[in-house]
Chains A and B, each alone.
Chain A
Amino acid sequence: MAYSGRKDSPELPDFSLLKRLARDQLVYLLEQLPGKKDLFIEADLMSPLDRIANVSILKQHDVDKLYKVEYKPIISTSDQLCFLIRPRIKTVKWISDVVNADKAGGKFRKYKIIFTPQKFYACETVLEEQGVFGNVSMDEWGFHLLPLDDDIISLELSEFFRDNYLAGDLRWVRTAGSALHLLHSIYGPFSKVYGIGRCSKMAYESWKEQAKEEEQKPRNSEIGNVFLIDRDVDFVTPMCSQVVYEGLVDDIFRIKCGCVEFGTDVSSSDKSIKVMLNSQDKVFNEIRNEHFSNVFSFLSQKARNLQVAYDKRRGMDIKQMKTFVSEELKGLKQEHRLLSLHISASESIMKKKTKQDFQELLKTEHSLLEGFEIRECISFIEEHINRQVSMTESLRLLCLLSLTENGLLPKDYRSLKTQYLQSYGVEHLLTFANLKQSGLLVEQQQGETLTVMESKVGKLVNDKTAGKLTDAFSSLARKNNFRALSRKLNLVPKSDDEYDLRLPRDMAYVFSGAYIPLSCKIIEQVLERDGWTGLEEVTKLLNGNEFAVTGKNGANNEAQRIVVVMFLGGCTYSEISALRFLGRERGYKFIVVATAIASSSRLLEALLGNHV
């Protein structure tokens, strides 16, 4: 990609500090249970833990054996058990069972639960109800922020999305506030905080509340601006197929905690391999933000350069050869391996995408975004369903249709739902109920056209004004005004000019030039205007809850251009790429803080109703 933008972007703060902090805290907590102990780790905490500590650190602090929490009776012989878990009722119930089984078997052990990132009362209640409260000691490990890369920090809370946007449970609001608080106390003070969305507002307030408890010493700030955004402000973007390399890799292979597992087709051996994907990987770093169509030419150029570098050793004398081997060869080989890997990955992506007629799929998505030839799109989706192409993929298209069209016509809704249930099973009645509740896939209400929008705006602010029981069931489904927003913000570029993906002119390149991600566009606009002034109509269409607050301490110039964008409910790699592009164009550096990395399949799987 041509780096046409400003070159004077400021340096990013050093986030490895967050890892050290988390590790030190964990060590401290482990020491609270002196002596040898076995450690049980919740499955989805293992990868995050791996990023900040390793076995020898745990061993140094008397951890004897490590187990994964599997909800089965345990086999440990240790007389001290430590559980490192998320605050989930199911897990705590299992621990209670373990304790009760020991009691029944006359075994005498010490138990400690370390909740991360925080403890919930509901979990303590379980211990109480199961009669083991008092037998188990508890602690909190405030492991809020895991840096996945120089500019990506994750809370690794995959349940945030479902809890907040489906169940309407606010238990993670404080967690989000604490994460912000942690950033603020290490890298702040912030000079400006912007936000949009209900949860963003609450997270902001929670942070303010927490910050009140401690005074802050004046310090040189490293982060100037913060932008908070709710996932449900923009559901459209995560429902689009990703076509930027990093996003594609995530869609196809699933990046987990910054690490991807390539199957045997990519590793070209009989074992799959795990690879860390971040800026340390020089090859990856150069292609991660590229539109996929540019990746091949880039890789082949890279291969040719490598060949030239290898060729250099021809005609070298002994001494030169020695220097070459000691200084360059290792780097070249490393690059060689990376290159081989990303070429195979690209090949594999190609194979999978040609198989499912990606072109037609993208065409349909673009038509939906543009609001063009909707009937054709519907019959394409229908065909997808009829042919039993992937369950989540069909669902994704249905959601995209609903989100862009402000709901499906009752006739279409019924027909598509019936076909979906016939293809994938009637139990998906439950899935449809969830999608309806979260507002991702809804039926247009008869007579609810333009006027209703106004009455809905501002209604959801708080309970005091609403106070209707109906809201408990349905208020999470926000009115989506995509078409109007798209017009106001110019999200779909004019169709007559050609878009050169090699030289992107705006953030639309992350979707082949067809669409500028709504979330990123809002961020761009607000930063440009230094607030929401002039965006009144847009915020109205976004269901309000916008804010912009100026802090007391003005940060220096450098820090002013460092912007933390916190996505409550998850952020996709495409959005990260778009923000990186925006940063280069405008001389900002964006740091994405996400409750988790999101993708269409992750979000939809969280809402599937076909599992027990």
Chain B
Amino acid sequence: MMKSRSDEEEYWNASKFKAFTFDDEDDDLRESKSAFESLAQLPDEDERDHVEEVSWSGEPVGSISRSVRETAASGRRTEGEAAFPARVDADLAKVNSGYSLSSLFKGRRGASVATLADVSGDRSGRTVAPEIRRPKSEKEDLVGDWSPQDAVNRMRQGKPVPLERFRCLQDKLRLLDRSVDAQDGNVITAVLIFLKKSLSKEVLFGELASRPTALRHLFAYLSESGDDALLADLYRALGRVEDAAVTRSHATTKYTLLHYKEHLSITDEKKKRDFLKSCLSLQFSPEDQVQLQDQVSLLERQMLIEATDRQAELGGKAEIFQKFPRRASILHMPLVTTLYYCCFYHYGQPEVRSARPRSSRVRGKVPTCRSCAGPQGSFSSPQNLRNSFKISEKQFFVTALSARAKQKSWRDVDALFAGRSWLGFTRKKSPLAFQVVVDILHRNSAPVHVLQEYVGLVDDADARMALAHKHKCHDLVINTYRDFKDRRLLLGYRGKVEAGSAAERKIDELLDGSQIRWKN
């Protein structure tokens, strides 16, 4: 532990902060826990009841969220059941605040049009009441003649404006420009909706090309209302505007992505594949084009893997599926997940199958895409996957390591590190720092003897010791102290190993022996 502390301190000092570690064995935490635990032992029989009494939750009885849940649960409850006061105590709530309610609503009741329409067929006096109170001037306004600016001003206050009176293009555009000047998105959108209805697409889109703010509002409105068709038209039209090439590419990208986005709502894999294929003809950037191509290839491959593996699983012949039943289908998963799957279930499979497939004949199409090239059966080989999709060495390594460790195939794990120096020695090589390797192995609950080997390969001495302590790699710790001839540390460590264990015996032997000249 000491070493580990010093290691951490080195970092914290180096970056000038007080050592503060998120370590499981934090002393402070242990202290506060134990302090707390001693508290819990207080003789307090009625504890439980009190716990219930004090309202902990953000939802006391009578909370709205809870009540909604109850409505949902009870479904159609009979009317009479509701145990709520029938008496309406309206006054009570009204006098609560000293502020006059009517002042708060001044000019903010935008309901006028709706209520007017409502009133005609409604005899209830109360709904009409607010309308009666409407100032006369407002009614007069309805026949008034407004400039675009006046109209915008009224709209900002939530008052109705018959926009139909703005019929010539200049007026319409002035109306739009004034609304943009007013910086009120609600009004800008309102004007745009009006323009959309009263202008042809060509004219509207053409005028918008020089009005970025308005254009953004139209994008937002169309996408919120789900009018993808018109949005696509708009992007296409903008892509044609003679402006700079940058603009064209922006608009094209937008159009492309809008179209591409549709695939998210397709769940059927065949339909999705076909759709994605159709996207290939869109104008993606060269890099994105590659990504899309990969997405198509991957889905095709997943379909093949899924078909074969499901059959194997149902047939009950492949032992691996019995031992580790598949939890979900591999369809639509990301590439790395697919790689993991293949490393898990098909690790040994050669990249190219030389012999003809024996029993597991693949149904369906013979793979044609570039990623599925090669003889049948090789499509689920991790190596094949790696080469087809240009997976980086590091990525492949990380994924294979996790998958093999999960299966506890320590031999496979070991083999991943095989590297031969020119002298013919085998040395463990890794594209990952060995700390990370240890972490991955530990997460997959590797046993100490496996961990120990990799902990020993950690370059940094302090980090190595910290990990050895953390993962209880006794031999490593003991040997290090022995090499340092540090009797005191070794003695200290004796207290940390289990009594009667081999490690304890080893320490005792070292301490009792006389070969070592201890430095302390």
Contacts and interface: CB of A to CB of B under 8 A. Distances in A.
Contact of A24 (B96, B187, B225): B96
Contacts of A334: 54
Given A427-B264, A472-B213, A513-B18, 9 more contacts: A66-B64, A88-B224, A119-B158, A140-B108, A169-B220, A170-B183, A274-B56, A340-B40, A499-B16
B117 interface: yes
Contacts of B124: 34
Contact of B337 (A25, A274, A388, A469): A388
A168 to B, nearest CB: 4
A242 B231 CA distance: 39
B392 to A, nearest CB: 7
30 contacts: A20-B97, A21-B104, A31-B90, A41-B68, A46-B65, A55-B62, A59-B82, A59-B84, A68-B68, A75-B75, A142-B108, A169-B185, A170-B185, A206-B184, A275-B58, A292-B20, A293-B18, A307-B39, A353-B22, A418-B287, A423-B334, A426-B295, A429-B288, A467-B210, A467-B212, A469-B212, A470-B247, A472-B215, A474-B250, A502-B18
Contacts of A306: 39
Contacts of B115: 137
Contacts of A122: 186, 189-190, 193, 221, 224-225
A303 B32 contact: yes
Contact of A23 (B26, B96, B155): B96
A426 B292 contact: yes
Interface of B: 8, 11, 13, 15-18, 20-24, 26, 28-29, 31-33, 35-36, 38-40, 42, 47, 50-51, 54, 56-60, 62-65, 67-68, 71-72, 75-77, 79, 82, 84-85, 88-90, 92-94, 96-97, 99, 101, 104-111, 114-115, 117-118, 124, 126-127, 130, 155-158, 180, 183-190, 193, 209-213, 215-217, 219-221, 223-226, 238, 241, 243-244, 246-247, 250-251, 253-254, 257, 260-261, 263-265, 287-288, 291-292, 294-295, 298, 333-337, 389, 391-392, 394-395, 398-399, 402, 432, 436, 439-440
A175 B189 CA distance: 15
A240 to B, nearest CB: 14
Nearest to A501: B18
Contact of A121 (B20, B190, B215): B190
B386 to A, nearest CB: 11
B394 A134 contact: no
Contacts of A336: 39
Given A273-B56, A275-B58, A501-B18, A61 B90 contact: yes
A167 B114 contact: no
Contacts of A353: 22
Given A121-B187, A469-B243, A137 B118 contact: yes
Nearest to B24: A354
Contact of B88 (A54, A60, A66): A60
A59 B13 CA distance: 61
A134 B121 CA distance: 10
A254 to B, nearest CB: 13
B212 A24 contact: no
A418 B291 contact: yes
B398 A383 contact: yes
Contacts of A167: 216, 219-220, 223
B244 A119 contact: no
A172 to B, nearest CB: 7
Contacts of B212: 463, 466-472, 475
A300 interface: yes
Contacts of B217: 168-170
B15 A275 contact: no
B264 A611 contact: yes
Interface in A34-74: 34, 41, 46-47, 49-50, 53-62, 64-68
Nearest to B288: A429
A304 B241 CA distance: 74
B63 A55 contact: yes
A54 B63 contact: yes
Given A31-B90, A46-B68, A274-B58, A303 B104 contact: no
Interface string A319-360: 000000000000001101101100100110011011001110
Given A133-B114, A168-B213, A169-B220, A512 B20 contact: yes
A25 B288 CA distance: 52
Contact of A343 (B33, B63, B211): B33
Contacts of B158: 118-119, 140
A467 B101 CA distance: 44
B439 to A, nearest CB: 7
A414 B289 CA distance: 13
A494 B16 CA distance: 9
Given A350-B22, A467-B210, A513-B17, A25 B101 contact: yes
A513 B16 contact: yes
Contacts of B17: 498-499, 501, 512-514
A350 B26 CA distance: 9
B59 A359 contact: no
Contacts of A126: 225
A423 B396 CA distance: 11
A120 B186 contact: yes
Interface of B is mostly: helix
Interface in A9-42: 17, 20-21, 23-25, 27-28, 31-32, 34, 41
Nearest to B84: A59
Interface in A498-523: 498-502, 512-514
A1 B217 CA distance: 48
A202 interface: yes
Nearest to B21: A359
A174 interface: yes
B186 A171 contact: yes
B184 A173 contact: yes
Contacts of B77: 65
Nearest 10 interchain pairs by C-beta: A171-B185, A300-B32, A259-B58, A170-B185, A296-B28, A121-B190, A293-B20, A472-B212, A134-B117, A168-B216
A351 B24 contact: yes
Chain A CB within 10 Å — which of B13, B16, B115 has the most? B16
A209 B156 contact: yes
Contacts of A422: 334-336, 389, 391, 395
A153 B29 CA distance: 33
Given A167-B216, A499-B17, A359 B35 contact: no
A497 B180 CA distance: 52
A125 interface: yes
A46 B388 CA distance: 50
Contact of B29 (A138, A350, A421): A350
A78 to B, nearest CB: 9
A303 B117 contact: no
A136 B58 contact: no
A173 B244 CA distance: 31
Contacts of B288: 429
A243 to B, nearest CB: 8
A609 interface: yes
A500 B20 CA distance: 11
Contact of B16 (A351, A425, A474, A495): A495
A448 interface: no
Contacts of B130: 32
Interface in A149-191: 163, 167-174
Contacts of B26: 296, 350
A81 B364 CA distance: 54
B264 A470 contact: no
A67 B68 contact: yes
